[in-house]
Each structure stands twice: as C-alpha cells, then as structure tokens.
Amino acid sequence: MDTIRVTRARLEDEADWIRLWGDWQRHMKGTVPAEVSERSWRLALDPDSRLIILLARSSDGEALGFATVSFAPFAWTGSDVAFLQDLFVNETARGQGAGEVLLKALYAEADERGAAQVYWMVDETDAKLQRFYERNAIRTPYLRFMRKPWPW
C-alpha cells in the first residue's frame, strides 16, 4: 500500500468516520444509537476533550480505518493513561499496514500528551487479531469484567 497517513478527526471527516463506524458496529454485531454516535463525534472534535478519533487514509485520501482513544488520570502513575477503545481497519485494507500505522500514531499521541501507558482489550477468540497486537505490544494476564451487558 502507498503511504498511509493518520490525523486527528476534523469536521470534514464526519462522513468517512460515520461510514467506518457503521462498518465497525456491523463487524462487532452491535449497534450504537445514532444520538450516542453523534455525541461521541462532537466530543472527539472538542479540543479540550479527553476522547479523540484518529483516522488513517491512503495516499489518495481514502479513509481506511480509525482508532477511538480516551485519556484518563491513573492513580499508579500520577499521569494520564490512554485507553484504545476501538481500532478498526476496513476489510479491504487489512494486512497492508493501516492498523500498525494507527497504533503507532496512537503511541505518538500518548507520548505527546505525557500518558504513562496505552492499553486495550482484545477478543480472546480472535487469534489473528491477537497476533497483530503481539507484534506491536506486550500481552498482559488480565481479563475484563463488566458491571452489566452493553444496552445494544
């Protein structure tokens, strides 16, 4: 694949993000209510927000994927940590480097903000995805628990 560039989401990226966001929801077999998606988009555009969206584009401008990331203070470091909520690459662009470029852009954003750590969760049944992350991070022994199921 040609050069992939990653930028923070801007107002003019909304249609591309909505398309990719919808593809991601279908992939995850879930549906986020439209008003929640709209609120998240507006929040990510707010320069003072702790939620950001990174978009990966090909050299010809095609939106290939995105990462949704939140920053929050962490008591064990006295600084922020970055939680990678979502990382999605369009199926037709997978295996061409967009995911790795997005992850590295997230690492750079975290470093720029002084975040002590970047972390995320991975589907325990998706061996291919786990191999991708093992090439770009370290695996931890922790499991995720939730208070209750997601409403969608």
Q: What's the total number of domains in the chain?
A: 1
Containing structural domain, residue 46: 5-136
Q: Calculate mean pLDDT across residues 61-71.
A: 97
Q: Which domain CATH number covers 17? A: 3.40.630.30
Share above pLDDT 70 across residues of the chain, in percent, rounded to a whole number? 99
Q: What is the pLDDT of residue 74?
A: 96
For residue 21, give the nearest of 47, 55, 49 by alpha carbon.
55
Other CB atoms within 10 A of residue 20 CB: 22
Neighbours of 80 (CB within 10 A): 18
Neighbour tally for 16: CB within 10 Å = 17
pLDDT tens profile 134-149: 999 999 998 888 899 8
